[in-house]
Amino acid sequence: MSCHSGQYTVVSAEELRRRRLAAALDRHERTLSAVSVLAVDLKAAVAAYGDLGVVLPEVVTPVDADPEVWERSTEGLEAGLERCRQAMQAATRVARLRHMVAASSGLTASLTEASPAETHDSAAGELGRVLARLPADARTDSVERCAELARTHESIQGKEERDRIIKAIRLVVQHEQDRAHLIEKNRKKLENLYRDLDGLVGRPVETLRGMLKGLDLEAPLPDDLEGRVTTTRDAARTEQDRAFVLEAASAALQDLGYSVGEQFRTAVVDEGALLELPHSGQHALRIRERNHQLMFNVVRYDETGARDPVADTRAEESFCSDFDAIRERLRSLGIDLTMLRADPPGSHPVQVMKEAPRQQSSQRRARPALRSRER
């Protein structure tokens, strides 16, 4: 069976630009969602502790279709979002602590006059430094526990008992710090995984995005998560390339007189599409796609499985001329086809399809390849 095959690569500047823009839009949309979430958190913090002096980043939506413009805009918004997040966390920690120990003038003064990192000899100063490290998103029960211990601390005079309470508070704070660290670590990792899927479509991609969205940030992420994202991303990119290449191949074949029909792309990927040769009613062109390769070979229709070497070779010679044109047309559409195999006409017996010859028609259609027999 004589065969022509080539490894394809999408190099179309227009197509690559379109993909880059799609990825930039996905990232921008996700960042807008993060701003909305932060706005809700800030509103809740202001309701609890009053004005924190924190302003949300300004959202500017580009009108340009240039992906680089969208990327720069989103990067600026992400930077502003991170600054706002850090400012809100810092302001919330101080405001919450002052609210929590409002009745303790000594503790409040220690926080007002110096930063938590400075050394204080007083017990109130030490308590203030420990409480100031409680993360802004600490759970309510932890905050209430620390407040209860702080009030107890203020009412006790003995150093040993005060030290014991400080130690208990440290444990609560450390636990919340570990929790906050895990959440932030998971948040950053998930953002990177989301970016791997940006610009991609398909049910597996959407299913995985939904799974990522539902993960508990307070728990370790699944060990195989990165592998699943990589596998899904690679499969989606492969399908993206395949769809573009088969669309271009369809156009190239139609330009040369082949009628590919609506089932062409499905048939190529399954068992291979059969297109009747414009110059032979007893032969067809079989086209398959596997692993970023396009494979072409001429087949013969015959109910008995018999061959006609002269006619078969002539059909292959005609296709060879078409193939050069197909390859050139693909190149003009932004697809490089690196040849892996190009058998000379007649070098191998053609594949025989056990089907009666069809009458040529101006409405030829691609159809799945039937079972064949090599003789």
Give the start-to-end residue ranges of the domains of the chain.
Answer: 14-233, 243-373
Separation CA 299–CA 139 (nearest Å): 70
Rg (Cα) of the chain, in Å, rounded?
A: 34
By C-alpha distance, which of 190, 189, 173, 182 is closest to 133?
A: 173
Q: How far apart are CA 138 and CA 50, in angstroms?
A: 18
Least confident of 23-32, 259-268, 321-330: 259-268
pLDDT in tens, 68-94: 999 999 999 999 999 999 999 999 888
How confident is the model over 145-162, as pLDDT tens digits? 988 888 888 788 888 998
Residues 356, 358: Cα–Cα separation, whole Å: 6
DSSP state letter for 195: H
Q: For residue 286, give the H/E element and its range.
A: strand 283-290
pLDDT digits (tens, 9 = 90+) for 178-226: 999 999 999 999 999 999 999 999 999 999 999 999 999 999 999 999 9
What SS3 class is residue 94?
Answer: helix
CA 322 vs CA 41, 171, 174, 236, 288: distances in Å: 64, 77, 72, 31, 17
Q: What's this model's pTM, rounded to 2 decimal places?
A: 0.81
pLDDT in tens, 26-69: 999 999 999 999 999 999 999 988 899 999 999 989 988 999 99
1 falls in which pLDDT band (50, 70, 90)?
Answer: low
Q: How far is CA 238 from CA 25, 26, 208, 266, in A?
A: 21, 19, 17, 15
DSSP 228-271: HHHHHHHHHHHHHHHHHHHHHHHHHHHHTT----TTHHHHHHTT
**Mean per-residue pLDDT, 342-364:** 68
**Which DSSP letter does residue 110 get?**
H
Average pLDDT, the chain: 86
Range name among 105-114, 278-287, 305-314, 343-352 with the lowest pLDDT average: 105-114
